[in-house]
Amino acid sequence: DQQVKQNSPSLSVQEGRISILNCDYTNSMFDYFLWYKKYPAEGPTFLISISSIKDKNEDGRFTVFLNKSAKHLSLHIVPSQPGDSAVYFCAAVNAGGTSYGKLTFGQGTILTVHP
Amino acid sequence: NAGVTQTPKFQVLKTGQSMTLQCAQDMNHEYMSWYRQDPGMGLRLIHYSVGAGITDQGEVPNGYNVSRSTTEDFPLRLLSAAPSQTSVYFCASVGGPGELFFGEGSRLTVL
């Protein structure tokens, strides 16, 4: 049972346009959500996060939106750059107790930004 | 600035062989974990440790063993390799809620 789902395996956008990556979750115990970025032959790196008490978090060109009622989050990248081309993983966690390191990841979305 | 170091980067095993994937971190984090990445499956938690001497199972622990004798090291042992364990393995050190620092990965092929 996939508790975190990214239904789009890939996304292709033009440089300068907006990239929107989507993620859905089913477990109501998740209270912290993150996006990780992964380049080939490297480990994933943390990109941006959001707590369940917020509905938006912004960091430069990256904004994450959380819709708790729909159990949906999205990552917006504006403007998209060729260097953003990577695999993006959505992740969720129950941040309480000793569970704060036990992330549940989505399948990943391959983003390609064309010059 | 080493961060999380994994060895080896690549390994080919025959079915039934055993091996250990090494992981070391220099960030003095108490919490460490092992994930495997498979196509279409994302990353799945194998085992984790919240401190030296303490380990617990994740989502897919079967066929793997871990121990944590020091804060720095968290090795993952494959007891009797199977083709289903062909995967890319990532060790992570946890800095805060959800904040994982990953190694570069170890690509394992079991024939």
Q: Distances in Å between the alpha carbon of B31 and those of B7, B17, B25, B34, B83?
A: 19, 29, 10, 11, 29
Which residues of chain A have a CB within 8 Å of the CB of B103? 43
- Nearest-angstrom CA–CA distance, A95 and A92: 9
Q: Does A107 touch chain B (CB under 8 A)?
A: yes
Nearest chain B Cα to A90, which residue?
B42
Q: Is the pLDDT of residue A1 over 80?
A: no
Three-class DSSP category at A97? helix
Give chain A positions within 8 Å (CB) of B29: none
Asked if A64 reaches chain B (Cβ–Cβ under 8 Å), the answer is no
pLDDT at B96: 87
Q: How far apart, in whole angstroms, are the C-alpha atoms of residue B21 and residue A23? A: 31
CA distance A87 to chain B (A): 10
A47 touches chain B (CB under 8 A): no
Q: Residue A95's pLDDT is what?
A: 86
Place of tokens 């930004």: A113
Look at residue A4 in the predicted model and tell me its pLDDT.
Answer: 97
- A7-53 residue pLDDT tens: 999 999 999 999 999 999 999 999 999 999 999 999 999 999 999 99
Between B84 and A100, whose confidence is greater?
A: B84
pLDDT at A99 over 90: no
Closest-CA distance of chain B to residue A66, Å: 16
- B24/chain A closest Cα distance in angstroms: 14
Query: How many other C-beta atoms can be found within 10 angstroms of the C-beta atom of residue B93?
Result: 26
In chain A, residues with a C-beta closer than 8 Å to the C-beta of B94 are 100-101
A37-95 confidence digits (pLDDT tens): 999 999 999 999 999 999 999 999 999 999 999 999 999 999 999 999 999 999 999 98
Confirm or reject contact between B66 and chain A (CB < 8 A): no
Residue with tokens 């799945």: B44
Give the chain B residue whose CA is nearest to the CA of A108.
B42
Q: How much is the pLDDT for B1?
A: 63
Tokens of residue B78, six digits: 């494959």
Tokens representing B38? 């498979």
pLDDT at B40: 85
What tens-digit pLDDT sequence spans chain B (111 residues)? Answer: 679 999 999 999 999 999 999 999 999 999 999 999 998 889 999 999 999 999 999 999 999 999 999 999 999 999 999 999 999 999 999 998 899 999 999 999 999
Q: Is A114 on the interface with B (CB under 8 A)?
A: no
